[in-house]
Amino acid sequence: MTVTRRRLWQGAASAGALAAFALPARHARAGAQIEEPLADAVRTALAASVAEDAPPRPSFEDIEARLGYLKWLGTASERLKRRKADRHTRIEFLEALWYESKRAGLEPALVLGLVQVESGFRKYAISVAGARGYMQVMPFWARLIGDGDVHRLFHLQTNLRFGCVILRHYLDMERGDLFMALGRYNGSRGRPEYPRAVFASRRQWDIKTG
């Protein structure tokens, strides 16, 4: 399997969303993400990474890789059925999440765990601080590295791309330390509650394909 992965530059940024598994009917429990200035090189790299207009079309090096992907897709679809009953909607979501995860160099299980904690898999979740969508992206990110249209943050692939690019950025900043990167994403760097919640959710989505 081959996917495009852009190099994200290190920079100063802090954002995230305080989330829990028990979510209200309308709002996600995301905290107030903090907007901080980004170095020009960082902003340019992040903007380029989110701007590429590409549908989730994975390619594979061999038939084994493709079969592994299809096994993952089928298993993940069954596990997600309780939260997303419509099969077409479920498959569309998983295909986009797999593509954006791989594109950013992240494990799909990790991103699924984060989405579960952040929004409970609700596309139109909105936090009291205004964070939007599956990965609870704050509107200021649309201005900093997008086209400024905050309504697009409810678009499936746009939301997943922003979230994955931002998490990848924090992971690079923390030199591969996922615990600290998740803390940055949540705005609680150094505290264990949020990373532990995501790690626990990730285990539910750890699907063996070999």
DSSP for 149-189 reads -GGGGGSHHHHHHHHHHHHHHHHHHTTT-HHHHHHHHHT-T
Question: Quick one: which of 166, 209, 158, 185 has its CA closest to 46?
Answer: 166
> Is residue 182 assigned to a domain?
yes
149 CB-near residues (< 8 Å, 6+ apart): 142
CATH of the domain at 149: 1.10.530.10
pLDDT at residue 37, rounded to an integer: 82
Is 171's pLDDT higher than 80?
A: yes
Does residue 116 sit in helix, strand or coil?
Answer: helix
> Is residue 10 assigned to a domain?
no
pLDDT at residue 107, rounded to an integer: 97
> Is residue 95 assigned to a domain?
yes
What is the pLDDT confidence band of residue 49, given thresholds at 50, 70 and 90? very high
Is 5's pLDDT higher than 90?
A: no
Q: Which residue stretches of the chain are H helix?
A: 40-51, 63-80, 87-103, 108-119, 139-145, 156-173, 178-186, 193-204
> Is residue 20 assigned to a domain?
no
CB 78 within 8 A of CB 10: no
Is 126's pLDDT higher than 60?
A: yes
**Domain count of the chain?**
1
What is the pLDDT confidence band of residue 33, given thresholds at 50, 70 and 90? low
pLDDT at residue 209, rounded to an integer: 81
> Is residue 196 assigned to a domain?
yes
Mean per-residue pLDDT, 15-26: 37
pLDDT at residue 30, rounded to an integer: 54
Q: pTM for the complete prediction?
A: 0.83
> Is residue 121 assigned to a domain?
yes
Mean per-residue pLDDT, 15-32: 42
Is 87's pLDDT higher than 70?
A: yes
Mean per-residue pLDDT, 30-42: 75
What is the pLDDT confidence band of residue 28, given thresholds at 50, 70 and 90? low
> Is residue 4 assigned to a domain?
no
Give me the domain span that covers residue 184: 27-46+53-204
Question: Quick one: which of 91, 203, 108 has its CA closest to 160?
Answer: 108
> Is residue 21 assigned to a domain?
no
